[in-house]
Structure 1
Amino acid sequence: MSFRRALAVGAAALLALTTAACGADVGEEPLSDDALVIYSGRNENLVKGILEQLEERTGIDVQVRYGTSAELAAQLLEEGDGTKADLFFSQDAGALGAVAKAGRLETLPPATLDAVQEGFADEGGHWVATSARARVIAYHPAQAPEVTEMTSVDAVLDPRYKGKVGYAPTNASFQSFVTALRVAKGEDGAKAWLEEFKANEPKAYDNNILVLDAVDSGQVALGLVNHYYWYERVAEKGAAGVTARIHFLNSDDPGALVNVAGAGVLAGSPQKDAALKAVDFLLSEEGQRYFADETAEYPVVAGIEATKHDLVPLEELRGASIDLNELDSLDATLALLDEVGLT
């Protein structure tokens, strides 16, 4: 079986797995040949505003199809050259990497790739990060004050946390964490970790917001989430109105993964120029400020800081030393989660 054929088969399995796990509708609305068609693995609630600004500032007619990043990556591989998509706006680097490996993304101009800080663009030039986010451990300070001393996600396997850890198994960020776990520990090591995690009876939630709710209310002592959920909650309710706290592991550990959302232009797109303008807009000061202030994510362009959130500076975070391109084996991650029974 050729590499391309093997990848396509894996993508089909990925689509089946994610559809079964998430039940999300990628959408079948008619797509225009004249508009810039964006397949967005980013949630509509998070990015609708910036995509509307894109239309206003550039005059480009934009049409968006929303779904999970894994679903859309699989759909792009199935559609091949026949896709109507011009731009893939992904929630994580892994989905971008999978599409790039299949030869479905154009090479971006050097000026676009050089706009971001080192390490936040594909070395092959096929995609560029648009924002970054860090994995953290949310914790209830009265139930688990010792979390502030943790340096590895392995600590959540301690029997003292049996039934007291919340996670969102169908969320792309958790799946990316598991992929990082596979990269760092190998397949056998990751499977052993997940089996031990399952034996500790973690509580599954539909999304990270509900995980944070559970930590905040004391239903669980710990939660595996991304940093921005907590910052958004504090911005909404004030620091005094939020019981939960978050801890950055600040170490070379899969639990300290700093992942990215990013974008790539589909190969052969008739709207290539418009797609490149869209990517550059997302990397503009206006676009980066949006991510910093509206979604509490880290800007990937140097010199831009949040004005609404007191974010720990990105350059001060020590994350997992994993090449983000290695997070592209989403199908294997989903298969492992299914095998272990954590889907």
Structure 2
Amino acid sequence: MKLFLSRSLLTLATLAVVVALPDAQAEEKVLNLYSARHYQTDEALYEGFTRQTGIKIKRIEGKEDELLERIRNEGAYSPADVLLTVDAARLSAAHELGLFAPVTSPTLEKRIPANLRTGDWFSFSTRARVIIYAKGVIDPDQVKTYGDLANPRLKGKVCSRSGSHPYNLSLMASIIAHHGEAEAEQWAKGVVANFARAPKGGDTDQIRAVAAGECAVAVSNTYYLARLMRSDKAEDRKTMDKVGVVWPDQQGVGAHINVSGGGVLKHAPHREAAVRFLEYLASDQAQRYFADGNNEWPVVAGIKIDNPALEALGKFKADSLPVASLAMYRAKAQIIFDRAGYR
């Protein structure tokens, strides 16, 4: 009887292992993605990864600060493998919270330029912060640099989104890196003195405000412009007919570049899949998705894109400042904006 029970228990244990194996294998084919990118075109991006690898993406979307807080609260029990978000300031915030794990990948190091990656997060697309002006109201030669936005001749003519927004914090961080804190603060005060109204809205709102005559100059990330340029709405086309675009600082350091990127999280349960996903985002196929689908520039050199809006915006000199420098001066940028009254 004892022998029979022992053999039965052994058989049951063996069956349990056999049954458990498919579940374990299935679990390895999953990637848990926390994303602050809310673009429909990214669906094709994720589907492409699953087709290539067989790894299913389980996605949780949310606002940047909410996701960072969630990951921090989940701690070692977090199911998240990868965080994707936009803006270097936000990515650096995740780094400062200790949420990312270091990643060593020859593929990422080879394909992504050194100035667009750090030890634990990587840029996968870029967008430039350009100057928008009202045609027939502003001579584009008057706004050839970011510094020109502080010129008193633009008094009452500048629109802006909040100084606490990460896009503007990253721009200010680049100004600090290039020109120092004193000059950066002087610039911020000059821009505030030129405001046509209190900062509000997003980049698209600034473009529309310039077109409507509420102000004459603003700054915007390029993918908002490209979105309006590709729109089927007559209102959007009229807006773009009324505004011009200047690539700033082309005789100097070049136009400020912001990024969309991500990293592997410290407690990622599927680390191998997470690294494979980042490497996929640097592939030719994924890089084309970023450009053709969401109007962002690829970070990988030599990618052939098919986006008439990006082609119409033309070639430009981009600031090669390392994204790590943007992270370094993020907190100082907020302090300077606050002192200048750039709310």
Over 3 Å counting, the alpha-carbon distance change for 1:233 and 1:240 in structure 2 is closer
Match of 1:273 in 2: 272
Structure 2 residue 215 is the aligned partner of structure 1 residue 216: no
Q: From 222, 230, 255, give the equivalent of 1:227.
A: 222
Over 3 Å counting, the alpha-carbon distance change for 1:240 and 1:60 in structure 2 is closer
Indicate the RMSD between aligned Cα atoms, in angstroms: 3.2
Q: How far off its partner does 1:48 sit?
A: 4.9
Match of 2:145 in 1: 152
Q: How far off its partner does 1:52 sit?
A: 5.0
The one-letter code matched in structure 2 to 1:342 is Y
Aligned residues: 308
Over 3 Å counting, the alpha-carbon distance change for 1:184 and 1:274 in structure 2 is same
Match of 2:121 in 1: 127
Q: From 63, 75, 82, give the equivalent of 2:59.
A: 63
Structure 2 residue 304 is the aligned partner of structure 1 residue 305: yes
In structure 2, C-alpha distance between the alignment counterparts of 1:33 and 1:196, rounded to whole Å: 55
In structure 2, C-alpha distance between the alignment counterparts of 1:315 and 1:201, rounded to whole Å: 29
The one-letter code matched in structure 2 to 1:66 is G
List gaps (5 residues or longer) in structure 1.
Answer: 1-31
Over 3 Å counting, the alpha-carbon distance change for 1:79 and 1:327 in structure 2 is farther
- Taking structure 1 as the reference length, the TM-score comes to 0.77
Q: How far off its partner does 1:324 sit?
A: 1.1
Match of 1:284 in 2: 283
Q: How far off its partner does 1:315 sit?
A: 11
Q: How far off its partner does 1:307 sit?
A: 1.0
Contact 2:42 2:289 in 1 (8 A): no
Q: Secondary structure at the match of 1:263?
A: strand
In structure 1, C-alpha distance between the alignment counterparts of 2:155 and 2:88, rounded to whole Å: 31
The one-letter code matched in structure 2 to 1:330 is R
In structure 2, C-alpha distance between the alignment counterparts of 1:325 and 1:219, rounded to whole Å: 36
In structure 2, C-alpha distance between the alignment counterparts of 1:71 and 1:43, rounded to whole Å: 14
Match of 1:50 in 2: 45
Identity of aligned residues (%): 26
Q: Secondary structure at the match of 1:291?
A: helix
Q: How far off its partner does 1:270 sit?
A: 1.0
Over 3 Å counting, the alpha-carbon distance change for 1:96 and 1:108 in structure 2 is farther
In structure 1, C-alpha distance between the alignment counterparts of 2:247 and 2:74, rounded to whole Å: 39
The one-letter code matched in structure 1 to 2:158 is V
Contact 2:89 2:169 in 1 (8 A): no
In structure 2, C-alpha distance between the alignment counterparts of 1:136 and 1:143, rounded to whole Å: 18
Over 3 Å counting, the alpha-carbon distance change for 1:109 and 1:315 in structure 2 is farther
Q: How far off its partner does 1:306 sit?
A: 2.7
In structure 2, C-alpha distance between the alignment counterparts of 1:81 and 1:153, rounded to whole Å: 43
In structure 1, C-alpha distance between the alignment counterparts of 2:105 and 2:92, rounded to whole Å: 18
Q: How far off its partner does 1:75 sit?
A: 5.5
Contact 1:116 1:300 in 2 (8 A): yes
Contact 1:251 1:320 in 2 (8 A): no
- Deviation sequence 1:243-288 (CA, Å, 0-9, x none): 2121111437688211221121112311112212221222222211
- Deviation sequence 1:126-172 (CA, Å, 0-9, x none): 2221101111101111111x224643211112233222212222543
Match of 1:189 in 2: 183
Contact 1:86 1:266 in 2 (8 A): yes
Contact 1:299 1:305 in 2 (8 A): no
Q: Secondary structure at the match of 1:108?
A: coil
The one-letter code matched in structure 1 to 2:159 is G
Q: Secondary structure at the match of 1:245?
A: strand
Q: Secondary structure at the match of 2:296?
A: coil
List gaps (5 residues or longer) in structure 2.
Answer: 1-26
The one-letter code matched in structure 2 to 1:180 is S
Contact 2:131 2:143 in 1 (8 A): no
Structure 2 residue 94 is the aligned partner of structure 1 residue 94: no
Q: How far off its partner does 1:233 sit?
A: 1.0
